[in-house]
Chain A
Amino acid sequence: MTSQLVQTYDCRQAFAETLIELARADERIVAVCNDSVGSSNLVGFREQFPDRLINVGIAEQDLVGVGAGLANGGLIPFVSAAAPFLTGRALEQIKADVAYSNTHVVLCGQSPGVAYGELGPTHHSIEDLSWTRAIDNLKVLVPADPAQTRAAVRWAAANPGPLYLRVPRLKVPEVTPEDAPLEPGRALRLIDGDDVTVIALGTMVSRALDAAERLRADGISARVVNMPFVDPLDVTAVLDAARETRGIVTVEEAVTTGGLGAAVATLVAEHHPVPMRILGVSGFAPTGSATYLLDHFGLNADGIAAAAHELA
């Protein structure tokens, strides 16, 4: 699927285009950034709505607090910054000003995971899923492709409440239908299968689909589930996988201590224990490009297929 014939996309483009489309129809929508107009892909937004692009400069705590204040004033702020700085630097603001205060702030974490590759672990956002999932009253949404990113931005604008939207940067192919439903606690089953289940989100979904093709060639029927909402999780989809297949592989572009894999494991351990393999980034990464690092950590079709083999 990820052969050179398949078109791949940077989801930030879909994020930015959809935000502009929504802003045209709803003047409450504003964008707030931390000197990240370019990296958040907000240049077009600024051209069309110069007054509605608020740049607080390099100041992430202020960024999130200002977002909460804008929401208090009746606006719908999309607070956008590189994911490591948005979540790491402003985590207490995310907790107190957004989640605990129950404000309609859309926190948009750009270039998450190891997207910044060679820039190193300071710029990798691999802890964000663990951090945000631990915060009460904060939904966590990770789209897998441009279609799901468009749906995610629309969902975020239309549904009041705190949200962390993790916008992938690593180029991905289209993997979900344009009209696929997107709602909290609802996963998408992309491929049916009854030997083993692979649950993936974000940039890992296309790789999970590639792995399923390889497994099929080996005579293994792998179910592939896309879990866009890490919180709240689709409990039914997870428990169905536990009951109907022999094991579950989770894949995420994040550490395995607290994100998708940990969420699935907790659920499975409490209700229907089955063997699992939890794939993700382990530790501070060595120097390398994003794609190099994903291969390094086994976050590719080979790695996913090998883990599935152990369970099938």
Chain B
Amino acid sequence: MLLADTHTAAAWAARKDGIDVAELEAMATDVRRTVVTMVDRAGLGHIGGDLSVTDILVTLFGAVLDVDPTDPARPDRDRFILSKGHCAGALYATLAHCGFFPRASLDTFMAPLSALNGHPNRVKVPGVETNTGPLGHGFPVAVGCALAAQLKDLDYRTYVVLGDGELQEGSNWEAAMTAAHYDLDRLTAIVDRNRLQQGAGTEDTKQLEPLADKWTAFGFETRTVDGHDHAQLLDALEPSRTGRPVAVIANTIKGKGVSFMEDRVEWHHKVPSADQVRTALQELAR
């Protein structure tokens, strides 16, 4: 186990050397601008969470995941699951940026009969692994994906992004226990820790802290980073060093990149006015 980990860690270090963080930042700006445009056009969407999770998605799809947009169902692809499925807008913008489907499709976001529902559908959208939306579903499915790799001796890796408020769902902790019990060291759970849920702060609603201690107590190798710093995220997404599954607590800001949305609970799913869209796009161009 340790030998293999050393090997993958070395491979990871070599791979990371070729990554240009400035390119990831440019990609993140593009995804954020796309999200604002999509929500504006649809008149719907979860813009605050889209903007908080963007840098995590960009780091994964831009630099980490071994996936092929031209062959999205390749059996040995890395698995990525967005458990906080309401942030489908950011996922679609990222997938389109990477070529999983044409950017023009984004114009249909939540329009009648569009494949791009308000929550992702694997049957209709290439690059989606499981249909999420109700919270607390993605992590158990990710555990199953990682277990399948272990059983079939495939070396794909599984990554799941969880909302922080979502961790109030007990199914996540069931999954965490299973992941630790089966030593799923090719599984990484990333928490988009923006500290806000739909109606209020997480700590005012149902306290999550001490969150890192919880993950560690559940048997994870826990890493805490700035979830908007691509270099830090890259370090945090490196393979397990201990043979345990990895938890990354990515501290983020809901509405990141748009001054009047940042850390404001009402932007969970508020739709910006035309003026606000203009201001947001100006801020995101800088």
Which residues from A are CB-within-8-Å of B152? 73-75
Which residues from A are CB-within-8-Å of B170? 61
Q: Are B148 and A69 in contact (CB under 8 A)?
A: yes
Kindly name the residue among A61, A67, A77 whose own CB sees the greatest number of chain B CB atoms within 10 A: A61
Q: Within 8 Å of chain B (Cβ to Cβ): is A65?
A: yes
CB distance from B148 to the nearest CB of A (A): 2
Q: Within 8 Å of chain A (Cβ to Cβ): is B49?
A: no
Q: Within 8 Å of chain A (Cβ to Cβ): is B141?
A: yes
Q: Are B122 and A71 in contact (CB under 8 A)?
A: no
Q: How far is the CA of A54 from the CA of B123 in the complex (A)?
A: 27
Given contacts A100-B131, A101-B130, contact A69 B174 (CB under 8 A): no
CB distance from B179 to the nearest CB of A (A): 10
Q: How far is the CA of A56 from the CA of B144 in the complex (A)?
A: 10
Q: How far is the CA of A62 from the CA of B169 in the complex (A)?
A: 11
Q: Are A70 and B144 in contact (CB under 8 A)?
A: yes
Q: How far is the CA of A75 from the CA of B140 in the complex (A)?
A: 16
Q: Are B177 and A69 in contact (CB under 8 A)?
A: no
Q: Are B178 and A66 in contact (CB under 8 A)?
A: yes
CB distance from A37 to the nearest CB of B (A): 15
CB distance from B258 to the nearest CB of A (A): 31
Q: Within 8 Å of chain A (Cβ to Cβ): is B145?
A: yes
Q: Are B144 and A71 in contact (CB under 8 A)?
A: yes
Q: Are A69 and B146 in contact (CB under 8 A)?
A: yes
Which residues from A are CB-within-8-Å of B148? 69-70, 72-75
Tally of A-B residue pairs with Cβ under 8 A? 111
Given contacts A59-B174, A61-B171, A62-B175, contact A69 B133 (CB under 8 A): no
Q: Are A62 and B178 in contact (CB under 8 A)?
A: yes
Which residues from A are CB-within-8-Å of B142? 69
Q: Are B174 and A96 in contact (CB under 8 A)?
A: no
Q: Are B143 and A101 in contact (CB under 8 A)?
A: no
Q: Are A66 and B151 in contact (CB under 8 A)?
A: no
Q: Are B123 and A65 in contact (CB under 8 A)?
A: no
Q: Are A59 and B137 in contact (CB under 8 A)?
A: no
* Binary contact track A60-88/B, C-beta < 8 Å → 1, others 0: 01101111111111110100000000000
Interface of A is mostly: helix
Q: Within 8 Å of chain B (Cβ to Cβ): is A30?
A: yes
Chain A interfacial residues counted at CB < 8 A: 30
Q: Within 8 Å of chain B (Cβ to Cβ): is A221?
A: no
Q: How far is the CA of A57 from the CA of B179 in the complex (A)?
A: 12
Q: Within 8 Å of chain B (Cβ to Cβ): is A197?
A: no
Q: How far is the CA of A214 from the CA of B175 in the complex (A)?
A: 53
Given contacts A59-B174, A73-B148, A75-B151, contact A65 B134 (CB under 8 A): no
Q: How far is the CA of A67 from the CA of B144 in the complex (A)?
A: 6
Q: Are A56 and B141 in contact (CB under 8 A)?
A: no
Which residues from A are CB-within-8-Å of B149? 73
* Binary contact track B208-228/A, C-beta < 8 Å → 1, others 0: 000000000000000000000
Q: Are B75 and A65 in contact (CB under 8 A)?
A: no
Q: Which of B141, B171, B174, B182 contacts A72 (CB 8 A)?
A: B141
Kindly name the residue among B134, B144, B178 whose own CB sees the greatest number of chain A CB atoms within 10 A: B144
Question: Residue of A at shortest CB range from B75?
Answer: A74
* B residues 135-172 in Cβ contact with A at 8 Å: 136-137, 139-149, 151-152, 154, 170-171
Q: Within 8 Å of chain A (Cβ to Cβ): is B129?
A: yes
Given contacts A54-B147, A69-B146, A69-B148, contact A96 B131 (CB under 8 A): yes
Q: Within 8 Å of chain A (Cβ to Cβ): is B84?
A: no
CB distance from B130 to the nearest CB of A (A): 5
Q: Are A65 and B171 in contact (CB under 8 A)?
A: yes
Q: Within 8 Å of chain B (Cβ to Cβ): is A13?
A: no
Q: How far is the CA of A103 from the CA of B142 in the complex (A)?
A: 14
CB distance from A42 to the nearest CB of B (A): 16
Q: How far is the CA of A290 from the CA of B182 in the complex (A)?
A: 38
Q: Within 8 Å of chain A (Cβ to Cβ): is B33?
A: no
Q: Within 8 Å of chain A (Cβ to Cβ): is B97?
A: no
Could you tell me which B residues sit within 8 Å of A by CB distance? 75, 79, 121-123, 129-134, 136-137, 139-149, 151-152, 154, 170-171, 174-175, 177-178, 181-182
Name 4 extra pairs, CB < 8 A, besides A56-B174, A61-B170, A93-B137.
Answer: A62-B171, A69-B143, A73-B144, A97-B131
Could you tell me which A residues sit within 8 Å of B by CB distance? 30, 51-52, 54, 56-57, 59, 61-62, 64-75, 77, 92-93, 96-97, 100-103
> Which 6 A-B pairs give the minimum distances between C-beta atoms?
A69-B144, A73-B148, A65-B140, A62-B174, A59-B174, A66-B144
11 examples of A-B residue contacts, CB within 8 angstroms: A54-B147, A59-B178, A62-B174, A62-B178, A65-B137, A69-B140, A69-B143, A72-B148, A96-B133, A97-B137, A101-B131
